[in-house]
Amino acid sequence: MLFTHRFVQHRARAIVALLALAVVALVLAACGGSGGGSDSSGSSADAETLLRQTFTGTHAIRSGKADIDLRVDVSGDDSVRGPITASISGPFQSVGSDELPKFDMSLDAHAQGQGFRAGLTSTSDQLFVNFGGTSYEVPAQLLDQLKDSYRRSQQEESSDQQMSLKSLGLDPLSWLQDPTVEGTETIGGVETDHISSQVDVNALLDDVDNILARVSAQGGLPTGQQIPSRIPADDRAQIEDAVKSASIDVWSGADDHTLRKLTLALSVDIPRESTSLDINLSIELTDLNQPQSISAPATTRPLDELLGQLQGFLGGALGGGSLGGGSGSSGGGASSDQLQAYSDCVQRAGSDVTEAQKCADLLTQ
């Protein structure tokens, strides 16, 4: 797909990533820890006060349902058919500060007329990946490693606050420019205060520079790769010019000042390609601190079976019979029609591993 390759190469990728960082930081700040309620009484209706109450202090979020929706509309590129959409949704529930939480999240993505569905389910003691309508269980050894990593991150955050936004050089509230209280609205059966605000892209990039400087001073990434101590001036100027508008809307619980919904609207122009992007991201949290029903799938297969199918898929898509490379009969990568045929074949095969493996032949015909 031509657009996929072009989109990854363009400056738009950096722009979207930076604004996504803003949203992630805002959500992390809003969710806070597992302690008590907000640290403010909430008597003031001032927009800045409401935002401070929402994005600082601790908010006890132990369970609920999350709905995350992303939509990208592209204009000026005739190779793009329809919008690019992705949604992640499902319930979640904590089972203790040091235990892997329960969740049942599904992913549904669409681009270029094709769709992709997958899921991830955790019962805390077991973890399952859903692909092609079949659930695959993650091996106990790998799950134990994930649990250990999660426990360490929780302990570091609670004891040293190493992951606090301030320690990372982030000040999300400084990115919000001229916030306004729009009134009260009901979100998921809860009365909320609705605040709208423009995003100060320059202030956001200042914080990105702070992060880069800290990581660079510590010797770079864990992989040993060095990174610049700040965004190159030319790149920063291009990002600031490309972002034509950026705004955030926040819905905060009227009683507890806990985030219930957040939306980001971003408009980006790429003059060299005569292309513009309208990006809309929505994050909604409902049924907070209500019991959630999350259980293991009724039937499962070993994860190794899925990995074998994916190896066949990737090997065929790269023009060879394995991940190690080689040249297939097609002499190149699989076409979009071949990929769609493979996806349909895998779904028809279901849990029949033998039939699913035969699907890889469709990628080299």
Provide the pLDDT for residue 145.
Answer: 85
- The distance between the two most distant Cα atoms of the chain, rounded to a whole number of Å, is 70
pLDDT digits (tens, 9 = 90+) for 256-276: 999 999 998 989 888 777 788
Residue 185, pLDDT score: 96
What per-residue confidence (pLDDT) applies to 214? 74
Query: Which DSSP symbol is given to 330?
Result: T
With a cut of 70, list the residues of the chain below it in pLDDT.
Answer: 1-45, 80-81, 156-170, 215, 218-227, 310-344, 346-357, 360-365
- Which of 325, 324, 315 lies closest to 364, judged by CA? 315
Whole-number CA gyration radius for the chain: 23
Residue 292, CA distances (Å) to 94, 98, 133, 182 in order: 10, 19, 23, 32
Written as one letter, the residue type at 261 is: K
What pLDDT, on the 0 to 100 scale, is given for residue 344?
66
Neighbours of 330 (CB within 10 A): 15
CA–CA distance, 135 with 153 (Å, rounded to integer): 28
Q: How much is the pTM?
A: 0.70
- What is the pLDDT at residue 238? 82
**pLDDT score for 129:** 92
- Per-residue pLDDT of 54-91, as tens digits, reads 887 777 889 999 999 999 998 877 776 678 899 999 99
Beta bridge partners of 119: 106, 130
Distance of CA 317 to the CA centre of its chain: 26
pLDDT at 198: 93
Per-position b or e across 213-233, b if 16+ CB within 10 A of its CB: eebeeeeeeeeeeeeeebbee
The Cα 18–Cα 239 span in angstroms is 10
Write the CB contacts of 231 (distance below 8 Å, at least 6 apart in sequence): 205, 208, 209, 212, 239
Residue with tokens 């010019």: 241
Listing DSSP states for 161-189 in one string gives -TT-TTTTT--GGGGEEEEEEEEEEEETT
At 6 the pLDDT is: 41
